[in-house]
Amino acid sequence: MQTYEINVGKTTIGNLLDIQAVNFAGHSALEYTELDLKLDFQAFREVCDDVAKALMALGIEKGDKIAIWANNVPEWVFTQYGSARIGAVLVTVNTAYRSAELEYLLKQSDATTLILTGGVREKDEYLNIINKVCPGLKESEPGKLKSKKLPFLKNIIFLGQEKMPGMYNWDDVIQMGKTVSQDQVQKRLNSLDPDDVINMQYTSGTTGFPKGVMLTHSNLIGNALSLAECMKLTSDDALCIPVPFFHCFGCVIGTLCCMVSASTMAPVISFDPVQVLKTVQASACTGILGVPTMFIAELEEMDKKEYDTSSLRTGVMAGSPCPIEVMKRVVSDMGAYEMTIVYGQTEASPGITQTRAEDSLELRVETVGRALPNVEVKIVDPVSLNELPAGEQGELCSRGYHVMKGYYKMDAQTQRAIDKDNWLHTGDLAVMDENGYCQITGRIKDMIIRGGENIYPREIEEFIYTSPKVKDVQVVGVASKKYGEEVAAFIQLKPEASCTEDDIKQFCHDRISFHKIPRHVFFVEEYPCTASGKIQKYKLKSQAEDKLSLTG
């Protein structure tokens, strides 16, 4: 089917919805297998406009911040595009946040409105947390919250049927929106500029307080177009989206890639391998997104039960280094023969490099691809900042339309991340070959220095993963009085596999350098992860040092 050219730099996300609602009116825009919900592009725009009217009825102006704290429910997508129609900045909230983190985000972002579900893991967890953060909420009239700690916050909207003290519920505000005309929405939409900030995402905060990454319409649309082009997405495609919407992976590589290409969005509310495979089957998905741990779980489920994944062709695996054997099985067993790898970070909207559908399997498992169209990439010496030749390891830097506008109210941190020549410094170590294909070799801060030797965890992980007993492995450095640091490996074993620390060391013996062989081996059932599935190595390091009773 035909796709329509979208002019980056002259189009807003709100305009984009109009373009697709006209050109692909009756084509499926959104499908939720588990909710039996299907909307075509015309109906999807109507729902999003109802949300836009509701937000305007609440008095939300262009540039106001709207935070959303929910898993991948339909209202999340409706809010993403409804808020974009009126120029409100969507602030995405990590579903794993607790009270201190939520309070920090709401305060730092100057959010006027919070939309939330009752909870994700437990029925009322979010309700309990917001009442703890705003102790006067239950006595407040909806829309008139007064909080000394959060002076901007006025509206709390509950995604449910029940009436919660001090809150609107979703149906209430949609009903309020009936007082706002379509002309008012259109007038607001026409006033928006593609260079306006429309989305704010908070970085994980593993090295200090989280920073609000400001992303514009042009940042996001341009990146989604490039990513969709590399996946060869068109209106003939449907993309299964089990990754969280609150992260760029879900709301850019997921929903926005579908919007720019007129593909069907097929989200999964909360990651579950059974539901993912059911969605692929029911919506005949041609694409699927995930981090490696998700694909590992899906492949394990496929080993137990038969699912029809024959429609799969493409998708994106990202978020953490992809074990080669996992990629091979995704291609051979799931059938996603054009599966791509994307590398990036929130500050880059998020994509920087991507493999291409026509790349060899070797390139698609051994690299993270080459720069996206209209994106520059270079490797620099982390100390001198001089550009390095092909084949030498250094920090990956990127420049182009995709680089964030900055961190919200954090000018000093912005200047540290983006240099005077507009290069974004990623903090990631990489090697680029003569054809521009990059291998990510680790984080600068994750590099292990043992007795003066630089050790890169990825290299050891890839080797240990070739053991037939190993399901997954993560390598970190732990403090050592003698060597400064030693190598520690956290290993998940395959079902029924039996293995000891000595077995792992023997497996490595004479096959990798002595100083790279793990000094410590821990067998674990699971890894500490962010809500988006990224493994938190700093927590593994802390766990190892606690177990070994090591200090600094």
Q: 253-311 pLDDT, tens per residue? A: 999 999 999 999 999 999 999 999 999 999 999 999 998 889 999 999 999 999 999 99
Residues 222 and 272 in one domain: yes
CATH code for the domain of 261: 3.40.50.12780
Residues 186 and 219 in one domain: no
- Number of structural domains in the chain: 3
Residues 186 and 53 in one domain: yes
Residues 20 and 82 in one domain: yes
The span from the CA of 277 to the CA of 281, in Å, is 6
* 7 burial type by CB count under 10 A (0-12 exposed, 13-18 middle, 19+ buried): exposed
For residue 16, give the DSSP letter. Answer: H
Q: What's the pLDDT score for residue 452?
A: 74
Residues 133 and 36 in one domain: yes
Residues 198 and 232 in one domain: no
Residues 338 and 472 in one domain: no
What's the rounded mean pLDDT across residues 326-350? 95
168 has a pLDDT exceeding 90: yes
Using a pLDDT cut of 90, give the percent of the chain over it: 81
Q: Which residue has the tokens 């400001």?
A: 214
The residue ranking higher by pLDDT, 294 or 446, is: 294
User: CB pairs under 8 A, 24+ apart, for 389-393?
Assistant: 390/432, 390/433, 390/434, 391/431, 391/432, 391/433, 391/434, 392/431, 393/429, 393/430, 393/431, 393/441
What's the rounded mean pLDDT across residues 220-231? 96
**Cα of 182 vs its chain's centroid, Å:** 33
Q: What's the pLDDT score for residue 445?
A: 79
CATH code for the domain of 542: 3.30.300.30
454 has a pLDDT exceeding 80: no
96 part of a folded domain? yes
Among 5-9, 188-192, 330-334, 378-382, the minimum mean pLDDT is found in 5-9
48 has a pLDDT exceeding 90: yes
Average pLDDT of every residue of the chain: 93
303 part of a folded domain? yes
381 part of a folded domain? no
Domain end: 169, 202, 235, which one?
202
Q: Residue 206 — pLDDT band, cuts 50, 70, 90?
A: very low
The span from the CA of 37 to the CA of 279, in Å, is 12
187 has a pLDDT exceeding 70: yes
Residues 133 and 245 in one domain: no
426 part of a folded domain? no
Using a pLDDT cut of 70, give the percent of the chain over it: 97
pTM of the model: 0.85
Domain end: 147, 178, 202, which one?
202
Asked if the bond preceding 142 is cis, omega within 30° of 0, the reply is no
Neighbours of 318 (CB within 10 A): 26
Q: Residue 552 — pLDDT band, cuts 50, 70, 90?
A: very low
463 part of a folded domain? yes
416 part of a folded domain? no
Domain end: 181, 202, 223, which one?
202
Q: Residue 5 — pLDDT band, cuts 50, 70, 90?
A: confident
184 part of a folded domain? yes
Residues 350 and 228 in one domain: yes
- What does the longest C-alpha to C-alpha distance in the chain come to? 75
Residues 255 and 353 in one domain: yes
List the domain range (segments joined by +) for residue 475.
Answer: 454-547
For residue 529, give the DSSP letter. Answer: B
Polymer length of the chain: 552
Residues 537 and 461 in one domain: yes
Residue 202: name the closest of 320, 110, 109 by CA: 109
8 part of a folded domain? no
Q: What's the pLDDT score for residue 98?
A: 87
Q: Residue 120 — pLDDT band, cuts 50, 70, 90?
A: very high
C-alpha distances in angstroms, 354 versus 70, 106, 385, 419?
A: 29, 33, 24, 24
C-alpha distances in angstroms, 278 versus 32, 242, 307, 505?
A: 11, 12, 7, 40
What's the rounded mean pLDDT across residues 71-100? 96
Residues 49 and 198 in one domain: yes
pLDDT digit string, tens, across residues 395-445 = 999 999 999 999 999 999 999 999 999 999 999 999 999 999 999 887 787
